[in-house]
Amino acid sequence: MVIPKAIRDELGIAPGDEVEFEVAGDAVVVRRRDDAATRRARIEALRGIWQGIDGLTTADLEAERRAERIREDEKAARWT
pLDDT of 22-64, one tens digit each? 999 999 998 888 778 878 888 888 888 888 787 778 888 899 9
Find out whether 30 and 7 touch, Cβ atoms under 8 Å. yes
pLDDT tier, 69 (very low <50, low <70, confident <90, very high otherwise): very high
Note the pTM of the prediction, 2 decimals: 0.39
SS3 31: strand
CA-based nearest residue to 13, from 26, 25, 1: 1
